[in-house]
Chains A and B, each alone.
Chain A
Amino acid sequence: MIICTKKMDYRFGTQCQFIQNQVMVNSEKERASLLCMKALANRGRLDTVSQQMASHPQYLESFLRTQHYILYMDGPLPQPYRHYIAIMAAARHHCRYLVSLHSAQFLRVGGDPLWLQGLEAAPPRLQHLDHINKVLAHQPWLTARSHIQALLKTGEQCWSLAELVQAVVLLAHCHSLCSFVFGSGSDSDSTPTPRVHHGTPPGYCLCDAANGNTAFSPPPAGPTEKAPRRRSLDSSCEVACLLEQIKKSQEEIKERKGDRLHSQTLLHADVEKEDEAVFSADPSRFVSDPEFGYQEFARREEDHFQVFRVQDYSWEDHGFSLVNRLYSDIGHLLDERFRSVASLPFPHSPDLKRAIWNYIHCIYGIRYDDYDYGEVNRLLERGLKLYIKAVACFPDARKTPLCPLSWAPVKASDKVHVNLLVMEARLQAELLYALRAITQYMIA
C-alpha cells in the first residue's frame, strides 16, 4: 500500500507523457485519458498494463471492465481468495509484477498475510486449485473431467461449481495477462533489484517510445535496468539462435533441477533483505512443481490428446452459454473483450490477424476445420512466429529473454496489438478447455 502511494506520483507523470507520445486521433486520446483517469481515481494508481493498452482505448475499456468485474464485483468467491488465485496464476509464469500487485491488493482487502508466505500456508481449498492452475497455464489440453470432478467432490474442502467457474476465469485471465505483461516488457526482472530511489526521474526510457522502438514505460521495479536491455534490441540477432535459445531454456530447466533448492533459498535471502515487505515476494513460493512447463502439442500425440475442434466446442455457441450461466454476466464481458480485440483496426490485412489468432490456438492444440494452416507459414514471418510463441507459451523472464526477439514492428501500437491478440487468444483457449471439461462433468 505504501509503495503504491509512493510510486503513484511519478506513475501518473509517465502516463501523461506516454499518452502525449502517442500519435492518436484527438477523440481517441480523450477517451483513453478518460479511462485512465477513471482507473487512476479508482485505484489510486495506474498500472503499466493499462498504460500500454491506452493505445487501444476501445479495448482498454472492456478489459478494465472485465478485470474489475471478476476481481471486485459480485461473485461467489471472497475477495482475498480472488487475489490469491490471481497470485497463484501469475506465479505460474513467474510474473513478479502481477504477483506483487495482487499481493498488495490481497492485503488491502483483508487477506491473511500468513498466506503470502507460500502456497503451503494457504487454506487447503486453494491448494487444491494448484493442479488445475498448473495444467491450464502450460498444457491446457490436459484439463479433464476428472480434475473438475476432484475439485467438486463433496467434502470439507470442496468447491462449488459457481466458485470453480469464477476461479477458472480468474486463472485464465491472469495467465493470459502474464503473457501481455511479458510481451510488453512491463515485468520486473527475475533478480531482485535494489529499491528504486524515489528521486529518480523515470521518464528517460521514453525516448525509445518516441523513436518507435518500444512503447513501454518503465516497469515498476527497475527502470535503471531497462536501458541496457533496450539497447540490445537492434535487430541483428539471428533467427536460428532464438529457436535454440527457447529450446535451450527448456533444457536448462531440466538441468537446473538439481541446484534448484539452492537458488530458491538464495532468492529468499535476497527478498528478505528488501524492506519492501511481503508483497514483493518471490513468485516461486506460490508454485509447486515448477518444472512443469509448456510442451509442444505435437501431432504425434494425437492419439493421446485429441485435437480440440472449434466447430465442436466454440466460444460463441457453447462456452459463452455455460460460463454465463454459472457466473452471471461474465459471458457478456468476455464476449465483448473478444469482439473488441477482433474489431481493433489492424493496419495489415485481416488475414494476418486471423493467422495470428489461429496460430496461437494451434499452439494450444485448437484447430479450425475451415482454416488452411499453410497460411500461417505464408503470412507470419519467422521472427513474428517466434515472438508469438515465446509470449504465449513462455512468458517467463527467467526462461526466455525477451531481448533477442527480432520481430520489430514498425509502430509501437502494432506490438501492443499483437500482444493483445496473444492475450485474448490464450484466454479463450484456456477457457475453452476448462469449460469443455466442466461441460463433460455436467453431462456425466
Chain B
Amino acid sequence: MEKMTRVSSTISGCTMFCHLDAPANAISVCRDATQVVVAGRNIFKIYGLEEDAFVERLNLRVGRKPSLNFSCADVMWHQMEENLLATAATNGAVVTWNLARPCRNKQEQLFTEHKRTVNKVCFHPTEVNMLLSGSQDGFMKCFDLRKKESVSTFSGQSESVRDVQFSIKDYFTFAASFENGNVQLWDIRRPDRYERMFTAHTGPVFCCDWHPDDRGWLATGGRDKMVKVWDMSTNRVKEIYCVQTIASVARVKWRPERRYHLATCSMMVDHNIYVWDVRRPFIPFATFEEHRDVTTGIVWRHQHDPYFLLSGSKDSTLYQHMFKDASRPVDRANPEGLCFGLLGDLAFAAKESLMSAPQSVGDVGRKTYPGGDRRYPIFFFKKPDVTEQFAQVSSALSVFESEAGSGVGMDWFINTAQSYLLSGKPFVELCEHNAQVAKRLNRPQESTTWTMLRIMFSEPANPSLSSNHNLNKSGNLPLVNSFSMKEMSAALNERNKENRQDNLHSLETNLNNNDENEETEGSEGQAEYLFGDAELDDDDLYSMEHENQAAEEPEYLLPQEAFPLRHEIMDHPSAPEPVQEKPESPHVSGSEAESTCLTPMESFSLISVSQLLFSPHLPPKFFCPIVKEMLCYYAEQGDVQMAVSVLIVLGDRIRKEIDELTQEHWYMSYIDLLQRFELWNVSNEVIKLSTCGPIMCLNQASTTLHINCSNCKRPMSNRGWICDRCHQCASVCAVCHHVVKGLFVWCQGCSHGGHLEHMMEWLKQSRHCPAGCGHLCEYT
C-alpha cells in the first residue's frame, strides 16, 4: 500500500491521445513510466508522457528508405535497462536498440536467425542481457546480448509461436503459446524439451501473460474468443477462470495491484479495450471505447499503478486511458434471473427498482418475495465482499406458480391411462407423446420427466428428430438445445432428494451460477456440441442417417401386424418378449450403422466446441440408477401409473435394474387400479406389454370357454368343430353356413349367429335374423 501511494503521487495525468503517422502494432513503456515506444510497419517512435499530452521524443525510423527491419510486429522496452529496446521485425529479424548511442541510428544488434516473421520478443525481467523471441517458423530463440548469435534454440515441434513470456517469479521458466492452441512451459536451461504442455484453446493462442503476483497463474487469450486463467502450480494444469469475449483476443494484460483483473483487446471487429474481473466473466468490469479501429497494443503504464492504461491502435492513435473515465457496463445492465421449477413454476428475479412498477393485469398467481423471505430457509444472502469492487444489486424475486392440477377426483388417472402410448412407436415419439399428454392434463412434473427420459435414453445421434419436433410444436420447450446432460441429471437428483416442493432451490443454484464458473463453461461446450450435432443431421452428405430413420419405420410397424395373429396361441408367457423388444428399442439394430457413419461427423462438429470436460455422450446406462430412484419415488408417492408406464416404455433399458418382485408389485397395483376404473382395454394392454412372468400369466388364467352344441344342446367335449353326439357341425354361420373358426357373434335373443363380419353386413340390410327365425336381432 505504501508503494502504491508513492506511485500514484508521482504519476498523474488524464485521458489523452495523440495522432501517430501510421498504424501501431505494439507499444511498450519504460520502467519509470515516463516514456512509451510505439512500433508498427511504418512507425517507430518514442513519446514522452507529459501531464496532459504526449510529446514526441525520438523517431527511431531513420534512413531515406527504411528496410524491412524497421517493420515491427512487436516491441519491448527493457525493464531494467532504460536505454535498451528490442523489436521483432516482420521479415524475421530481431533487432535491439540502444538509446544511448550517440548517432541517429540507434540500432545495436541485428539477429537474422529466424526464417519467418518474429511475432514476439521478450526481455528477461531481471537478467539484463537475456532476450527471447518467438517466430512463425515454430522456433523460440534465446539471445545473450553480449554475443552475436543466439545461445539456445527451442523447438516447439509445432506451428508458429504467437507469444513468449518469461515468468516473473521463476527465474528459469518461460511460457510460449502456439498457433495450434497449445501452451508450452520451458526451462531456459533445457532447450531439448519442454517441461509441460497443454492445450489451452481451439485455434491459435494469440497471447499469454503471467500474473504479476501469483506465481502459478497464467492468462491466455485465443482466437476462440476466450480468455482463460490457468493454475500451473499444481501437478495438472487447471483452468480456474474463463472469460468469454465477443471477438478473438489479441492481447491480455493483468492489471497491477488488482488480483483478479485483466485487460484485453481484440484482433478483429471489436475496437474496445475491456477490463475483466475474472470472477465475474459475463460483463466487463470496465470498458474503454475510444479507438476507431482495432487496438493492437495495451500496456499498463506502471507496474504498480492500476489507474493508467496505454493503448495503440490501427487507427493511428495512441491513448492514455484513465480508469476513472472508463465506462462501466454493469451500471447499465439490469441483472435478471429466470428459472423454471420442476412443478412448472417460474421464478424470476430482477432489480428491485424495475419490479416496483404497478402490477399488470396478467399477473395471476404471482407471489413476490422481496429481498429474501425467511419462510424459505434455503434462500441465502451472499455477504457483500468489500474487496470485490462490484455493483451490489438487491433484487426482487417473483414466483409464478402454476395452478396446481391436484383435483380431488381421479379424472386425471383415467385420462392419463387412456391417452398414454406405451408401445407401437419409436421410443422418442412415445416419450414426446406422453409428455404432451401429461402437460395437457396439467401435470408438469410428469411431463418434464418424460422429456428428460427422452433426452437421456434417445441415441445421441438423433436429437435432430426430437429437436425438429420441438421447433414445430410451439408448446414444447427446446430443451435439447439449451440443457446439457449434466444439468439434467443434476436437476433430477435434486427432485428425488426433496419431497418438499421448494422449487426455489433450483432457482438459487441458477442465480449462483456466476460463481461456479467452471461448470458454466463446461456445460456451454456441451450445449454447443449438441447443437452442432443436431445441425449436422440435416446434412445429407452423409445420407446414411436418413436411411437409418427410414429403417425404423417398418420396425415399429411390425408388432401391429404380429399381434392379431398371435392372440390365439399365447401358450408361453415369455413368447411376446422378442416382439416387444423391437418397438421399444429401435437403436439396437440401428446403432451399428450409426456408429460407422457418424465418426466423420463427430470430428467435424468438434470445431465449435470450446472445451469438453467429459465425454459428450453419456451412455444411457449412466442414468439408470437415477431413473430407478425416480421410479421408486413415483411408486411411493402412489403414482404407480407413472412408474409402470415408464417401465414399459423404457423396456429393456431399465428392466434389469429393478428387481422382479418390485416390478410385479407395481404391475399388480396398477392393473388393479385400472380394473377398478373399468379400464379393461388399458389393463389388458398393460398385461400384454408387461414382461414379468406372473403378470403375463394373468391373461392365461381361465381362458377356457365351454360351449354347447347348437343342435343337440349337449356340451361339446372334444376339440374340433363336429359334435360327437349328433355328428353335426356345431356353430355354423347363419349367413354362409360354414363353420365359424374365430370370432363368433350371436344374438342373445334367438341365439343365432355367425361370422362377425357376415352378421354386421347382414344386419345392415335386414333387421331380421339371418337364420330365418323371425327374431328382430340388433347389432350394437
Contacts and interface: CB of A to CB of B under 8 A. Distances in A.
A370 interface: yes
Given A316-B179, A370-B91, A61 B541 contact: no
Please report whether the interface of chain B is mostly helix, strand, loop or mixed according to DSSP.
loop
B600 interface: yes
A320 B541 contact: no
A322 interface: yes
B763 to A, nearest CB: 54
A311 B73 contact: yes
B188 interface: no
Interface string A37-57: 011011000000000000000
B604 interface: yes
A260 interface: no
**How big is the A interface, by class?**
20 to 34
A325 B269 contact: yes
Contacts of B268: 317-318, 321-322, 325, 439
B541 A38 contact: yes
A325 B136 contact: no
A321 B90 contact: no
Contacts of A443: 271, 292-293, 315
B582 interface: no
Interface in A381-399: none
B541 A68 contact: yes
Interface string B644-668: 0000000000000000000000000
Contacts of B293: 443
Nearest to B247: A321
B182 to A, nearest CB: 15
A309 interface: yes
Nearest to B246: A325
B269 A322 contact: yes
B117 A369 contact: yes
A41 B267 CA distance: 42
Contact of A74 (B91, B535, B542, B600): B535
Contacts of B292: 443
A89 B90 CA distance: 35
B223 A320 contact: yes
Interface string B95-120: 00000000000000000001111000
A38 B542 contact: yes
B92 interface: yes
A246 interface: no
Contact of A41 (B41, B179, B315, B543): B543
A145 interface: no
A54 to B, nearest CB: 16
Contacts of A312: 23, 41
Interface string B265-307: 0011101000000000000000000001100000000000000
A73 interface: yes
A142 interface: no
B267 A318 contact: yes
B117 A311 contact: yes
Contacts of A38: 541-543
A64 interface: yes
B707 interface: no
B539 interface: yes
Interface in A351-383: 368-370
A329 interface: yes
A61 B91 contact: no
B566 to A, nearest CB: 38
Contacts of B570: none
A369 B269 contact: no
B753 interface: no
A316 B41 CA distance: 19
- Max chain B Cβ within 10 angstroms of own Cβ: one of A72, A318, A369, A443: A369
Contacts of B206: 317
A331 to B, nearest CB: 9
Contact of A42 (B68, B73, B247, B541): B541
A65 B223 contact: no
Nearest to B93: A370
B212 interface: no
A254 interface: no
A131 interface: no
Contacts of B608: 329, 332
A442 interface: yes
Contacts of B247: 321, 325
Contact of A321 (B269, B539, B604): B269
A428 to B, nearest CB: 16
Given A317-B267, A320-B223, A321-B267, A311 B540 contact: no
Contacts of B604: 65
Contacts of B540: 42, 72
Contact of A329 (B114, B267, B607): B607
Interface in A318-364: 318, 320-322, 325, 329, 332-333, 335-336
Specify which of A312, A322, A442 lies most central, judged by the most chain B CB atoms within 10 Å of its CB: A312
Interface string B178-215: 01000000000000000000000001101000000000
Interface in B539-573: 539-544
**A38, A311, A443: most-surrounded residue (chain B CB, <10 A):** A311
Given A39-B541, A65-B541, A321-B247, A311 B90 contact: yes
Contacts of B91: 369-370
Interface string B328-346: 0000000000000000000
Nearest to B271: A443
Contacts of A336: 607
A82 B268 CA distance: 27
Interface string A415-439: 0000000000000000000000001
B361 to A, nearest CB: 39
A42 B179 contact: no
B71 interface: yes
A318 B267 CA distance: 7
Interface string B613-643: 0000000000000000000000000000000
Contacts of B90: 309, 311, 369-370
Interface string A293-310: 000000000000000010
B685 interface: no
Nearest to B604: A65
Contacts of A368: 117
Contacts of B539: 68, 72-73
Contacts of B73: 311
B543 A42 contact: yes
B436 interface: no
B247 to A, nearest CB: 7
B600 A370 contact: no
Contact of B116 (A42, A64, A320, A370): A370
Contacts of A320: 203, 223
Contacts of B71: 311, 369
Contacts of A316: 179, 204, 223
Interface string B123-144: 0000000000000100000000
B411 to A, nearest CB: 46
Nearest to A329: B608
Contacts of A325: 247, 268-269
Contacts of B248: 317, 321
Contacts of A333: 607
Interface string B520-547: 0000000000000001001111111000
A312 B92 CA distance: 15
Given A369-B117, A370-B116, A443-B293, A73 B538 contact: yes
A42 B114 CA distance: 47
B600 A61 contact: yes
A442 B269 contact: yes
Given A38-B541, A73-B535, 4 more contacts: A42-B542, A73-B539, A311-B73, A329-B608
Nearest first, the 7 closest Cβ-Cβ pairs linking A and B are: A369-B90, A321-B268, A332-B607, A311-B90, A370-B92, A370-B117, A369-B91
5 contacts: A38-B543, A42-B543, A65-B604, A317-B223, A333-B607
